[in-house]
Structure 1
Amino acid sequence: MAKKVLILSSSLRPDSNSEQLAREAGRGALEAGNDVEVLSLAGRDIRYCEGCMACHRLLYCPIQDDATDLIKKVQEADAVVFASPIYYYDICGQLKTFLDRTNPLYGQPYRFRDIYLITVSADDAPDTAKRAVSTLDGWIRCFDKAHHAGGFNAGGMSEANAVGNHPKWLQKAYELGKSI
């Protein structure tokens, strides 16, 4: 049965390494017969959560910006793949800001079950993305039907648009998408 798959790239750099890997995961998920949407946070107005908690009373965030539509897409997806560059051994600020803005989903019905994380880093040590995974796992813990279904860190990418020189990471992203 086909799944509704949402892939969110969080790098603000056009055609970034993480965005290219997100698109490749999308290609694999599409070839596996899923309904796939690949979106980028770049160029979107996503403001910080103000911690007002009005979203729990209203069932939506009162901040009117581009996060509103993206939150709905996350809520309606069966599987969500987040792609992020590693900044200081964690997910990038844009992704963390967006995850904070999904607070209206807490306690509400949602479809997503499988959550994936693709990260890209200059450092290629095996534990480079450990904090990034931990950050995402903290978000996942707030949704008891969801689980961290997989992902990887594409290490050794110190240059912009270097992923084309690393076909193993493109293949790994494709295979991840194909497995959804």
Structure 2
Amino acid sequence: MSKKILIISASPRKDGNSDLLCDEFMRGAQQSGHDVEKIRLSERHINYCTGCCSCVSGGGKCVQKDDMNDIFPKVLAADVLVLASPVYFRSFNGQMKTFMDRICPIYSRIHDTEVYFIVSAAGGSIPVESTFMSFRVFTGCLDVEEKGTLAVTGIWDAGGVKGTRTLKEAFEMGVNP
């Protein structure tokens, strides 16, 4: 059965390691006949949440006029959500955090969605489990089921993940989401 998959890439570098892992996940999923879209947060205009609570009192609508208004329906329509980020100080980066904060208007309407976490860390001894735990703090507020995690560590240079076993694992994860 074909699934609608939305990949959220928080990599600030196009073809950065976490972004390339997203591409391989997407390639595997497309090869299996799934409908896949990847959104690169660095290419979108997304404001910070202002904490105005208009979304709470206004029926789940955000008053800000930015690209999140285009992203909200895609998140709600997704059967599978892939959240990917480079590791910054043992967590995801600011672009991912801003995206998560802005989910507030729709978080109570996200149901029966499968989630995957993809991370890349430059340091070889960086414990990426803390990053996965940070993702879980967010997804714990949603009605989702975690289906898998993928991490690559010890690669500093953009594109350094090419030719690694982890790239193949990303593809295989996409084949059977």
Q: Which residue is equivalent to 2:62?
A: 61
- Whole-angstrom CA distance in 2 between matches of 1:70 and 1:3: 18
3-state SS, counterpart of residue 98 of structure 1: helix
3-state SS, counterpart of residue 73 of structure 1: helix
Q: Which residue is equivalent to 2:86?
A: 85
Q: Which residue is equivalent to 2:39?
A: 39
- For residue 175 of structure 1, the aligned residue among 147, 172, 175 is 172
Matched, 1:118 2:118: yes
Identity of aligned residues (%): 36
TM-score (norm 2): 0.93
Q: Say whether the 8 Å CA contact 2:85–2:120 is kept in structure 1.
A: yes
3-state SS, counterpart of residue 174 of structure 2: helix
Amino acid corresponding to residue 75 of structure 1 in structure 2: L
Q: Say whether the 8 Å CA contact 1:77–1:111 is kept in structure 2.
A: no
3-state SS, counterpart of residue 85 of structure 2: strand
- For residue 153 of structure 2, the aligned residue among 152, 155, 166 is 155
Q: Which runs of 5+ in 1 are unaligned?
A: none
- Whole-angstrom CA distance in 1 between matches of 2:34 and 2:130: 30
Q: Say whether the 8 Å CA contact 2:120–2:153 is kept in structure 1.
A: yes
Number of matched pairs: 176
Q: Which runs of 4+ in 1 moved over 2 A?
A: none
- Whole-angstrom CA distance in 2 between matches of 1:107 and 1:167: 38
Q: Which runs of 5+ in 2 are unaligned?
A: none
Cα distance, 1:124 vs. partner? 2.8
Q: Deviations over 1:86-108 (max 9, x none)?
A: 01110011001101100011323
Q: Say whether the 8 Å CA contact 1:75–1:112 is kept in structure 2.
A: no
3-state SS, counterpart of residue 87 of structure 2: strand
Q: Which residue is equivalent to 1:136?
A: 135
Cα distance, 1:71 vs. partner? 2.2
Q: Which residue is equivalent to 1:13?
A: 13
3-state SS, counterpart of residue 42 of structure 2: coil
**How large is the RMSD of aligned CA atoms in angstroms?**
1.4
